[in-house]
Amino acid sequence: MLDDLDSTLKKFLIHGLPDLQNSEETSVSISFELPTEGGMQQKPAINLFLYDVRENLDLRSREWTMQRRGNGTAVKTQPPARVDCSYLITVWVNADDPQQEHHILSKIMKLLFSHSVIPPEMLQGSLQNQELPVVLTSMQSGYLQSPSEFWQVMGGKAKVSLHCTVTIAVPVEKDTGEYPLVLENRPQLSRLS
């Protein structure tokens, strides 16, 4: 499922930023590698580093649904879990050129702000045909508490980065069994004393 999310984000960026792929300059690659200087083989590159995955408890639904079947039974279904996938987005350029880096980051920022959900036609693999939208939350601090500590651990100098959280629905597959449907409502007569 996470690989389908990566593919979805790649398609979303390519579709939303066509001038970065079809420019006369070198086209921008999209990477999901660890964001280190040596990790970016092709530059310029947009790097989306998935640094946190956790259940979104605010969106948790406890209401089960009953799906009718043609044989007079129904199946009890648990709602999907909602999971936040947080990405750190950085841009890596050929030379130490903050202008090019900031230009590409600005385009990404505009694209993220223009969408609160990822359009259904961009969804790939297991994310296609979900009942719930794939929510896109941008420019929030996310779960990365200290960006400077993060870059220190990565062994490099701090970089300008954008935060993006994508909320996906993850099916919870439990065998809950079939239940007979009640087809008539017959009130019971109470006895008078």
* Stretch 186-190: mean pLDDT: 62
In this structure, are residues 157 and 118 in contact, taking their beta carbons and an 8 Å threshold? no
- Tens-place pLDDT, residues 31-43: 998 888 777 778 8
In this structure, are residues 121 and 65 in contact, taking their beta carbons and an 8 Å threshold? no
Tell me, yes or no, whether 187 lies in a domain: no
In this structure, are residues 181 and 72 in contact, taking their beta carbons and an 8 Å threshold? yes
- Residue 13, pLDDT > 80, answer yes
* Stretch 170-180: mean pLDDT: 69
Tell me, yes or no, whether 151 lies in a domain: yes
Tell me, yes or no, whether 40 lies in a domain: yes
In this structure, are residues 91 and 105 in contact, taking their beta carbons and an 8 Å threshold? yes
- Residue 156, pLDDT > 90, answer no
CATH code for the domain in which residue 95 is found: 3.30.2000
CA 74 centroid distance within chain:
32
Domain count, the chain: 1
Tell me, yes or no, whether 101 lies in a domain: yes
Please tell me which residue, 20 or 51, carries the higher pLDDT value.
Answer: 51
In this structure, are residues 134 and 117 in contact, taking their beta carbons and an 8 Å threshold? yes
Domain that holds residue 86: 2-58+77-174
Predicted local confidence at residue 21, as pLDDT: 67
Predicted local confidence at residue 89, as pLDDT: 93
Tell me, yes or no, whether 190 lies in a domain: no
- Residue 161, classified by CB atoms within 10 Å of its CB into exposed (0-12), middle (13-18) or buried (19+), is buried
In this structure, are residues 50 and 86 in contact, taking their beta carbons and an 8 Å threshold? yes
Tell me, yes or no, whether 191 lies in a domain: no
- Residue 69, classified by CB atoms within 10 Å of its CB into exposed (0-12), middle (13-18) or buried (19+), is exposed
Distance CA(5)–CA(103), nearest Å, equals: 25
Predicted local confidence at residue 85, as pLDDT: 95
CA 192 centroid distance within chain:
62
Cis, peptide link before residue 44, omega less than 30° from 0: yes
- Tens-place pLDDT, residues 67-125: 777 777 777 777 888 999 999 999 988 777 788 899 999 999 999 999 999 999 999 99
Tell me, yes or no, whether 148 lies in a domain: yes
- Tens-place pLDDT, residues 115-151: 999 999 999 999 998 888 999 998 776 666 677 777 7
Helix 98-113, helix 2-16: angle, nearest 10: 110
Tell me, yes or no, whether 32 lies in a domain: yes
Rg for the chain, CA atoms, rounded: 23
Could you give the 3-state DSSP secondary structure of residue 180? strand
Please tell me which residue, 23 or 151, carries the higher pLDDT value.
Answer: 151
Distance CA(131)–CA(55), nearest Å, equals: 18
- Residue 175, pLDDT > 80, answer no
